[in-house]
Structure 1
Amino acid sequence: MKTMQFIAACALLASASTSFAHGNTSHASATGPVIKEQKAWGIASDERAALRTLTIEMTDDMRFAPDHFTVKRGETLRLRVVNKGQLMHEMVLGTRASLDEHAQMMLKYPGMEHAEPYMAHVAPGKAEDLVWSFNRAGNFNFACLIAGHYQAGMTGRFTVTE
């Protein structure tokens, strides 16, 4: 009987731990409508508002290509995030401070699940779109915050001009 309880406890623990892992889900469809919360670097938008698409590739050499882009304030882009590698990667928009803070949390809790409209978690060989309205001028950042990737330099920046 103790063996059965042990097996049941292990199965429960295993299923609970997978619920914290990054997935390759479409954020809008997985969680319902996109929540449009103003951030320092902009706000989520609807697909129909995107007038152009910018493709950003992620590779296992821990780099983004391009690693910098410029948009005009008020412009809405579809960022097509493509994983060209064999590892899971992500692209998270933010400020240097918000990315540093999130990266520290990811080191402590590497399987942490989160799905925000400014994040794309992309499985190897797959692509995911972020639709973002860049409504605040300034210099901002993006990064892969999977434990070890950020620390290896998997970062980029974007500029929003007036």
Structure 2
Amino acid sequence: MKTLKFIAISALLAAANTVFAHSNQIHEPAGPMTQETQEQQAWGVAGDARSALRTITLNMGDDMRFSPHHFSVKRGETVRLHVVNQGQIMHEVVLGTQASLHEHAQMMLKFPGMQHAEPYMAHVAPDTSEDLVWNFNRAGSFDFACLIAGHYQAGMTGTFTVTE
């Protein structure tokens, strides 16, 4: 019986290791956004790059800070976030609510190699940039953060406001 439990636990750990493998690799976008792939979030929905009329550059670096650490958009606006990693290590930006980011950050501490690719995040290798296109269709105050283990805890966070 102990052998069976050991085999089952080993298989689960091996599967988790495969699913949560996260390294300095850049994650490719899931493909073109269609109505089926656009999942509404509290802070908006994936945007179509052709609809983005404005670009906001978000710089991030090894000082564990974003610049700017706050930006504002109008409800319904589709914006291209041009995310620039000026540091020497991998960083990411993830849009969300305080609660969703905190929960995800806790998962990243437990599984630091976790692989994830959602339209509301961009993983950016050192000295490179990525674009994240988002339609901010819900008004309110929201957050963004780098959730790589230790970065969020070091204060690598910011806020954004979606106005009517």
Secondary structure in 2 matching 1:101: helix
Partner of 1:56: 58
TM-score, scaled to structure 1:
0.85
> How far did residue 101 of structure 1 move?
0.2
Distance in 2 between residues matched to 1:117 and 1:161, nearest whole Å: 22
> How far did residue 17 of structure 1 move?
5.2
Tell me the amino acid that sits aligned with residue 59 of structure 1.
Answer: G
TM-score, scaled to structure 2:
0.84
Number of equivalenced pairs: 145
The answer as to whether partners of 2:108 and 2:147 remain within 8 angstroms in 1 is: yes
Partner of 1:113: 115
Secondary structure in 1 matching 2:108: helix
> How far did residue 20 of structure 1 move?
1.3
The answer as to whether partners of 2:19 and 2:115 remain within 8 angstroms in 1 is: no
Matched-pair identity in %: 69
Q: Deviations over 1:112-141 (max 9, x none)?
A: 000000000000001000000000000000
The answer as to whether partners of 2:46 and 2:135 remain within 8 angstroms in 1 is: yes
Distance in 1 between residues matched to 2:66 and 2:110, nearest whole Å: 24
> How far did residue 45 of structure 1 move?
1.0
Partner of 1:124: 126
Distance in 2 between residues matched to 1:91 and 1:107, nearest whole Å: 16
Partner of 1:4: none
Partner of 1:41: 43
Question: How do 1:122-161 residues align onto structure 2 when only pairs under 5 Å count?
Answer: 122-161=124-163
Q: Which runs of 5+ in 2 are unaligned?
A: 1-13
The answer as to whether partners of 1:45 and 1:131 remain within 8 angstroms in 2 is: yes
Partner of 1:20: 21
The answer as to whether partners of 1:72 and 1:160 remain within 8 angstroms in 2 is: yes
Q: Which runs of 5+ in 1 are unaligned?
A: 1-12
